[in-house]
Amino acid sequence: MAIDDVDRALLVRLQNDATQSYAALGQAVGLSAGAAHERVRKLKATGVIRRTTIEVDPAALGSGVLAYVLLDSDAWMGDEPTLDALQAIPTVEEAHIIAGPASVLVKVRTGSTEALQATLRSLHLVDGVTSTQTIVVLESFFERAPAVV
Amino acid sequence: MAIDDVDRALLVRLQNDATQSYAALGQAVGLSAGAAHERVRKLKATGVIRRTTIEVDPAALGSGVLAYVLLDSDAWMGDEPTLDALQAIPTVEEAHIIAGPASVLVKVRTGSTEALQATLRSLHLVDGVTSTQTIVVLESFFERAPAVV
DNA sequence: AGTGAAAACCATGCAAT
DNA sequence: ATTGCATGGTTTTCACT
């Protein structure tokens, strides 16, 4: 799909506030409400907009501990069993196959260091994992949505 | 604020789809539309729900390269000038002060390895940064929203 | 692709409990 | 804190451009 500057402007505005009306949205980018609606419909249909969602404050829900964990392995971990095992751990927010010393990088968010420890235990139990290296976040400067280039 | 199971159920449903009506939302958790609306209003007022937003597919917008970069420094980087400098680089999606060998961990998303290189150059120009260590993501298993515990 | 308007639907406020 | 209802606004569709 071809995405032009108007689409990008719509995406930026919806990223900031997805509750605004199509009338407001259209006015901001110089379009009628109907036209704005049609563009957003297409962006959703083609998958550029994955979904409309809420951004939750993890700290308000009691998840104040953030860490990144590097997983070393004795086998190739790029297959579905690994994905399933990692996805089954609710405190694992991201999982990536990486180039470099380790095999997999996961982002973990928990409510306490004890819960982090429990997650590390779960990670050690994933097939192929031989060791982990944990990077504990002391303070987050920011976590923001992907830039709309 | 006290968050109960009904609130959590509402949060999970809104994370999946923030476009549904309060009638549907209320029915799903055993509440009237008005009551569901009132609960969501409070969750927004107290900051548990930060905002309603769209989730964009970075790949569809031409950002297919993901990397994590560790920054070493010769000074304390936990202050505002560092935050501002990192925030000013649009390809930097997250920045965290970390415990361990390096000082700062940043998440970078670009459209090409050339653009990644340009971001690394920008990171080297940030005050205090002495060296960087880049972890390139080969494949993302998943990136999902924080779990509502 | 965009416009303008019509119809169905929903958010929002309020009185009552 | 929840309900049911009224109303003003919004989404959604459609004929026309």
When CB atoms are compared, the residue of A90, A94, A143 closest to B142 is A94
Q: Alpha helix (H) ranges present in B30-133?
A: 33-45, 80-87, 113-124
Does residue A116 have a pLDDT over 80? yes
Distance B143 CA to D8 C1' (A): 40
Give the nearest chain B residue to A91 (CA atoms).
Answer: B147
For B142, the enclosing helix (H) or strand (E) is strand B129-143
Does residue A70 have a pLDDT over 90? yes
pLDDT (mean) for A112-120 = 98
CA-CA distance, A89 to A96, in Å (whole number)? Answer: 14
CB of A21 under 7 A from strand D?
Answer: yes
Q: Are A97 and B137 in contact (CB under 8 A)?
A: yes
Q: How many helices (H) and strands (E) does chain B have?
A: 5, 5
Size of interface A-B (CB pairs under 8 A): 223
Q: Closest residue by Cα to the C1' atom of nucleotide D1?
A: B35
pLDDT (mean) for B31-56 = 97
| Domains delineated in chain A | 5-45 (1.10.10.10), 58-137 (3.30.70.920)
pTM confidence score: 0.96
Contacts of A66 in chain B (CB under 8 A): 96
Structure tokens, B143 = 């990136």
Residues in chain A: 149
CB of B32 under 7 A from strand D?
Answer: yes
Distance A17 CA to C6 C1' (A): 28
When CB atoms are compared, the residue of A18, A51, A58 closest to B146 is A58
Specify the long-range contacts of residues B110-119, CB closer than 8 Å, at least 24 apart.
Answer: B110/B63, B110/B65, B110/B67, B111/A149, B111/B62, B111/B63, B111/B64, B111/B65, B112/B64, B112/B65, B113/B65, B115/B65, B115/B91, B116/B65, B116/B67, B116/B91, B119/B69, B119/B89, B119/B91, B119/B92
- What angle in degrees, to the nearest 10, is found between the helix axes of A22-29 and A33-45? 100
The confidence band for B146, taking pLDDT boundaries of 50, 70 and 90, is very high
- The percentage of residues in chain A with a pLDDT greater than 90, rounded to a whole number, is 97
Flag if B54 and A16 touch (Cβ within 8 Å).
no
The confidence band for B101, taking pLDDT boundaries of 50, 70 and 90, is confident
> pLDDT for B12-23, tens place per residue?
999 999 999 999
Flag if A53 and B14 touch (Cβ within 8 Å).
yes
The confidence band for B100, taking pLDDT boundaries of 50, 70 and 90, is confident
Choose the mutation target among B25, B39, B54, B92 for the interface with A, i.e. most A CBs under 10 Å.
B54
Does residue A108 have a pLDDT over 80? yes
pLDDT at residue A58, rounded to an integer: 98
pLDDT at residue A38, rounded to an integer: 97
Across all strands, nucleotide nearest B6 (CA–C1'): D1
pLDDT (mean) for A63-87 = 97
Does residue A1 have a pLDDT over 90? no
Mean pLDDT rounded to a whole number for chain B: 97
The confidence band for A69, taking pLDDT boundaries of 50, 70 and 90, is very high
Choose the mutation target among A56, A84, A139 for the interface with B, i.e. most B CBs under 10 Å.
A56
Does residue B143 have a pLDDT over 90? yes
